[in-house]
Structure 1
Amino acid sequence: MRLEGESSNSNGTSRPFANGSGVSPLHKAALSNSANGTRRSSVVMNGSSTTNGHSNSGGKQRMSYFGHDREEVTRILIQALTDLGYNGAAGSLSQESGYDLESPTVAAFRNAVLQGEWTEAEELLFGGSTEEGGVSINGPGLVLQPGVDKNVMRFWLRQQKFLELLEQRDTGRALMVLRSELTPLDQDTGKLHFLSSLLMSQSIDDLKAKADWDGAEGASRHQLLSNLSKCISPSVMLPERRLAILLQQVKRNQISNCLYHNTSTSPSLYQDHACQPDHFPRYPSKDLTKHTGEVWQVQFSHDGKRLASCGGDGTVIIYDVESWDVLQSLTNSEGGICSLAWSPDDTMMVTVAMDKDAILWNTLTGNVKVRLPRFGQPVSSVAWAPDGQSFITGCLDKEKNLCQWNIRGELTYDWRRAHRIQDLAVSPDGHFLVAMECETHIYVYNFVTRELEYELDLTTKLASVSISQNSRYLLAHNVAGDARMIDLDTRETVRTFRSGEKAGHFVIRAAYGGANESFVVIGSEDGHVFIWHKETGQLIEKLEAHKGCCNAIAWSPTNPSMFASAGDDHKVRIWTDMADKPFKTFPFSESKFR
């Protein structure tokens, strides 16, 4: 189809709290036995005094552990054993090694936060509470990370204190905390005004809803402790779930260095990870030849069970993915169907056409549900709202070029912009609507407020746009054969993928795909499919796909070892890994990276 004019903190564990944010059995023992720093836990302490969790092994020289600091490794292991529930083993390791997970002061601070002893918590954190003679009872305070704003930490503690007083319906004391403890810290004025508004809460439930806070008996104190722990030196208070985080970083590094990694299964820790090319969908296994004209768009249903294609013959063909039998053939256009979009539940589909029509279909019966009023110019693109109750159309006309419709066919909003829309995309989280005009500009709207957030001039005529499943990255493909991955929040270009082959004057749809959307895939005017590793930007495959232009590619949302390509040769080609490769040898790959 011609272009107009020329045409986040994964941490490797599912535990919600550990060390900084929760109280494991080992930590409970430490809290009960050394709440005020006067007695030492038999579990994590070893009978002699310590400072900030360091060894009490005297002046003996510490041997390294294969180049790693022995104390760091041991303390991390003690924490990991605790998180795993092996408290006896953790205590034995602490006793035998002479290393403590944390000092009595840290244990007392943890206990003060979790018990709501806010004055004591501040004194332990920053130092204070002197007795006669000027001797500090609680010591000089905990060592903090460089550059930490102590007043921010104080604000967090006092905010929790304020909210808990409101929860207790002690409005008078809460007001005193707001005026005499929070306001002097000179923090965010808007935040202070918001906290002040909470004084008018009608009930405890109203307070929790407005503050997005679950109360003293919920997870709020644990979350507060987790936030505070990030500001404390790790040599004093070990970051939560440290071993799990380190192991996850190892896995991520191995995955990022594995060009063909295409599975959502976590790699084993027992051996170094490497995927083989034969497990990657680089082999053509099936050609679908039901179309009588160029195929412009191809798209899997969200459940991965059906595949729909459309194009110049004015027909949408829906296939069963398991058998590749034709389930539905939807014919209702003389000028060619530009694009299609499955509803989120896959029961409906919108098609938009060159003959200025847009139709809502029942995908189970093949019947027309709604035909929209005829547009003034070809309808170029369509996307569903995440709730499945409305969809957005893009048109090449100067009127009704960007409109939202409900499933009854009623116009619910017209952006009334002058730009003529060639392609569009809605982020899965429903925040962004991205509209691409028929030249070089992209318009990014807040889909909730419908206001324009910003526009980008990418200087080169554009061919398509799409958004990643995590709603963070825009993929903008241009006629020079380049695709730019753009962070929708920062507006910065994260990476550019260059094919070296032009898209010509055609709409060629680029996409993310594979397990965890680890790849970027693009067609070309010369009929090739290019596949890049998304994180490294390295080209890993160049496949000969079609005679003539390769217009669109869709990766199965449920089977990372399958994608489909659509071309001017009237074909939809199915690509799979070696397991589904037919007996015939296809010399299609031009990869140089094996």
Structure 2
Amino acid sequence: MRPDGITAETGFPEASNGSYSSGTSKTALNGQSAANGNSHTNGSKPPHSSTYYGHNREEVTRILIQSLHELGYTSSAERLSSESGFELETSGVATFRSAVLGGRWVEAERILIQSFRNAGSQPDQDPLPEETLVLAADADRNAMLFHLRQQKFLELLEERDLAAALGVLRQELTPLNFDVERLHALSSLLMCPTELLHDQAGWEGPVSSSRERLLGKLSESISPSVMIPQHRLAILLDHVKSTQINNCLYHNTAESPSLYSDHMCDRNDFPLEVNVDLNHHSDEVWYCEFSHDGSKLVTAGKDHNVLIYDTTDFSVLHQLTDHEKGVAFASWSPDDTKLITCSQDNKARVWSVESGRCLLSVNHHRQPVTAAAWAADGESFVIGSLDAESQLRHWSIGGQAIHAWKGGYRVQDCAISADGRRLVAADTEAKIHVYNLLTHEEDYCLPLPSKPTSVAISQDSRHVLINLAEGEIQLVDMETTSVVRRFKGQKQGEFVIRSTFGGAAENFIVSGSEDSKVYIWHKENGNLVETLEGHIAGCVNSISWNTTNPGMFASAGDDNTVRIWSRNCNRPRPGPAPRSRVPSNGVTQTSALRTTTFGF
């Protein structure tokens, strides 16, 4: 037991029966207290209204009791339970909780099965056994048993007790005839090495944490009148904060709003002004990206050049000139020590960021190399190309081919999720392909309404952002493949325009546009936050938001410049004077001169 009274295994205070209950008063199985829902420790009616500012008094009190236990204030929780006459949960729930968290699967199943048998009984006519749960209306017996037995199966696999695990699979899970697809996935884990078990099973954390998640899953099928969902007050407070953030158009901080007052960010703190113009490219700039630590910025363009800047003063650290044609993409390694560049010369190159030296040249493709993505460990990477015979390959850092995906399509862009599990490839034929990077197998292929020009995956690995040629950006749930939100307003149709996540906690979606502007939307409510006059002429091709400084982002455009946007305009401009943005023929440059149409 920890000094604060919370057990290490469950995260809840210890009690002799595994319950939160103080034992000083009883609650009926329907969640109401014994004396008409208003019992008091001295038997008299509490001198209180039945509501608390319009909220159910019992619900508020029981949630407070739960929260006090979770905060470690056990004595205060028991005092509140005693004084209010409201018990947190029934003895049946307490026993069930203890059985699940303790891995006593036979006992947990017995309580579940008994609860389903007695589900139709009326408590006032046929008293239920103490160890009985009040189930939700949509509770599914086989589903709940499947989740319990799946946990038992996975724990046996982790212990390498394969014989017992096989027995659970054949004799306990299979007869339920529930979620056959998941059952097949579980059977494949029997030959899975222990070190890969958690990733393959989607089973994160130690056993104690996974049992907590199991209990939370099972609680969805138990009436909240007898078993309040875990961490209910924290969840309610999260909802409050999320609502405030969603209603705050310029919320650009990773700090959580205070509960003491309503929250609203000041527009003046948002990066809306150009602080620095970088004019080192001699032609269209097609790509820009900040390093993960925010200390550097890479830019690449039609002039064959790749530039690496120090973001403290935006001085040029390296100018990489080995490519023979325009460079359309660059990608930082997870530790920012290496950089991959992708070019229309059909090559990808890996560079040392410290020295600026080329470490590896990939000459395998016969068409332009369009994109690259690093594996989470930084020991390998994937390259995408318009070469339909070799459109997607997985390479080791030493230059050895690990895997080549078949399919005969052309890749416009690709990205790997931060958790290292998924690879997304944008097909020029209006599709995205989602692969399991660990097994190299395709999870699914998602058709799109038009050609994708870029893909980006959120840091939590839950969503993929797809920029479409028809002028729409879609935020897609990677698990369900459903479109969560659509963003419109930017101009697109002919060229490769990139969009990405931006701001603190990725609160925004930001995109370039063919009308020389930068568009910023609120990710959660979909509202257009700002339309910025981005560049003098042509397209704004790429945007990158500094992940360590939410008050800064960069845009790359056809006017040969990279612009640094900031909420602080006091930083001095770099040394070289800006070049004229009018070509020698005296005609203003427009997007019609572009050649970065790639697969279009």
Query: When the two structures are superposed, what TM-score results if normalisation uses the length of structure 2?
Result: 0.79
Aligned to 2:129: 138
Aligned to 1:3: none
Match of residue 147, structure 1, among 116, 138, 149: 138
Aligned to 1:307: 297
CA–CA separation in structure 1 for the residues paired with 2:475 and 2:564: 26
Aligned to 1:564: 554
Say yes or no: does 1:522 pair with 2:511: yes
CA–CA separation in structure 1 for the residues paired with 2:261 and 2:412: 48
Tell me the secondary structure at the aligned position of residue 52 of structure 2. coil
CA–CA separation in structure 2 for the residues paired with 1:517 and 1:537: 13
CA–CA separation in structure 1 for the residues paired with 2:393 and 2:162: 49
Q: Could you say if the C-alpha distance between residues 440 and 580 of structure 1 is closer, same or farther in structure 2, counting changes exceeding 3 Å?
A: farther
Aligned to 2:316: 326
Aligned to 1:10: none
| CA deviations over 1:117-166 (Å, ceiling 9, x no partner) | 6666556553589xxxx997825832111111234434555677889999
Tell me the secondary structure at the aligned position of residue 399 of structure 2. coil
Q: Could you say if the C-alpha distance between residues 83 and 315 of structure 1 is closer, same or farther in structure 2, counting changes exceeding 3 Å?
A: same
Q: Could you say if the C-alpha distance between residues 75 and 299 of structure 1 is closer, same or farther in structure 2, counting changes exceeding 3 Å?
A: same
CA–CA separation in structure 2 for the residues paired with 1:216 and 1:566: 45
| CA deviations over 1:46-83 (Å, ceiling 9, x no partner) | 35675555323447695211110111111111111121
Q: Could you say if the C-alpha distance between residues 120 and 574 of structure 1 is closer, same or farther in structure 2, counting changes exceeding 3 Å?
A: closer
Measured after TM superposition, the shift of residue 182 of structure 1 is: 6.8
Aligned to 1:297: 287
C-alpha contact 1:255 1:261 (8 A) present in aligned 2? yes
Alignment of 1:385-396 (within 5 A): 385-396=375-386
Tell me the secondary structure at the aligned position of residue 235 of structure 2. helix
Match of residue 23, structure 2, among 45, 50, 74: 45
Measured after TM superposition, the shift of residue 225 of structure 1 is: 4.2
Q: Could you say if the C-alpha distance between residues 446 and 110 of structure 1 is closer, same or farther in structure 2, counting changes exceeding 3 Å?
A: closer
Aligned to 1:24: 12
Alignment of 1:382-531 (within 5 A): 382-501=372-491, 503-531=492-520
Whichever residue aligns with residue 97 of structure 1, its letter is S
Measured after TM superposition, the shift of residue 393 of structure 1 is: 2.5
Match of residue 246, structure 2, among 246, 256, 260: 256
CA–CA separation in structure 1 for the residues paired with 2:342 and 2:304: 10
C-alpha contact 2:510 2:518 (8 A) present in aligned 1? yes
Measured after TM superposition, the shift of residue 188 of structure 1 is: 5.9
Whichever residue aligns with residue 24 of structure 1, its letter is F
Alignment of 1:205-224 (within 5 A): 224=214
Measured after TM superposition, the shift of residue 552 of structure 1 is: 0.7
Whichever residue aligns with residue 506 of structure 1, its letter is F
Q: Could you say if the C-alpha distance between residues 317 and 223 of structure 1 is closer, same or farther in structure 2, counting changes exceeding 3 Å?
A: closer
What RMSD, in angstroms, separates the aligned Cα atoms of the two structures?
4.3
Q: Could you say if the C-alpha distance between residues 18 and 538 of structure 1 is closer, same or farther in structure 2, counting changes exceeding 3 Å?
A: farther
| CA deviations over 1:347-388 (Å, ceiling 9, x no partner) | 111222223332221111111212232643332322223332
Say yes or no: does 1:77 pair with 2:68: no
Tell me the secondary structure at the aligned position of residue 546 of structure 1. coil
Say yes or no: does 1:240 pair with 2:234: no
Tell me the secondary structure at the aligned position of residue 505 of structure 2. helix
Task: Point out the more displaced range, 237-246 or 162-171.
Answer: 162-171
Q: Could you say if the C-alpha distance between residues 18 and 514 of structure 1 is closer, same or farther in structure 2, counting changes exceeding 3 Å?
A: farther
Tell me the secondary structure at the aligned position of residue 485 of structure 2. strand
Whichever residue aligns with residue 290 of structure 1, its letter is H
Aligned to 2:33: 55
Tell me the secondary structure at the aligned position of residue 64 of structure 2. helix
Say yes or no: does 1:88 pair with 2:75: yes
Say yes or no: does 1:265 pair with 2:255: yes
Whichever residue aligns with residue 141 of structure 2, its letter is K
Measured after TM superposition, the shift of residue 295 of structure 1 is: 0.9
CA–CA separation in structure 1 for the residues paired with 2:271 and 2:360: 38
Q: Could you say if the C-alpha distance between residues 198 and 137 of structure 1 is closer, same or farther in structure 2, counting changes exceeding 3 Å?
A: farther
Tell me the secondary structure at the aligned position of residue 519 of structure 2. strand
Q: Could you say if the C-alpha distance between residues 325 and 159 of structure 1 is closer, same or farther in structure 2, counting changes exceeding 3 Å?
A: closer
Task: Point out the more displaced range, 464-473 or 533-542.
Answer: 464-473
Query: When the two structures are superposed, what TM-score results if normalisation uses the length of structure 1?
Result: 0.79
CA–CA separation in structure 2 for the residues paired with 1:347 and 1:143: 57
Alignment of 1:93-108 (within 5 A): 93-108=80-95
Match of residue 566, structure 2, among 560, 576, 589: 576
Q: Could you say if the C-alpha distance between residues 579 and 138 of structure 1 is closer, same or farther in structure 2, counting changes exceeding 3 Å?
A: farther
Measured after TM superposition, the shift of residue 414 of structure 1 is: 3.1
Measured after TM superposition, the shift of residue 565 of structure 1 is: 0.4
Tell me the secondary structure at the aligned position of residue 28 of structure 1. coil
Task: Point out the more displaced range, 293-302 or 137-146.
Answer: 137-146
CA–CA separation in structure 2 for the residues paired with 1:571 and 1:168: 58
Whichever residue aligns with residue 321 of structure 1, its letter is T
Q: Could you say if the C-alpha distance between residues 50 and 515 of structure 1 is closer, same or farther in structure 2, counting changes exceeding 3 Å?
A: same
Match of residue 547, structure 1, among 517, 520, 536: 536
Whichever residue aligns with residue 368 of structure 1, its letter is C
Q: Could you say if the C-alpha distance between residues 379 and 161 of structure 1 is closer, same or farther in structure 2, counting changes exceeding 3 Å?
A: closer
Aligned to 2:523: 534
Fraction of identical pairs, as percent: 48
Whichever residue aligns with residue 15 of structure 2, its letter is K
Whichever residue aligns with residue 141 of structure 1, its letter is T
Q: Could you say if the C-alpha distance between residues 347 and 48 of structure 1 is closer, same or farther in structure 2, counting changes exceeding 3 Å?
A: closer
Measured after TM superposition, the shift of residue 179 of structure 1 is: 8.6
Tell me the secondary structure at the aligned position of residue 328 of structure 1. strand
Whichever residue aligns with residue 407 of structure 1, its letter is I
Q: Could you say if the C-alpha distance between residues 139 and 347 of structure 1 is closer, same or farther in structure 2, counting changes exceeding 3 Å?
A: closer
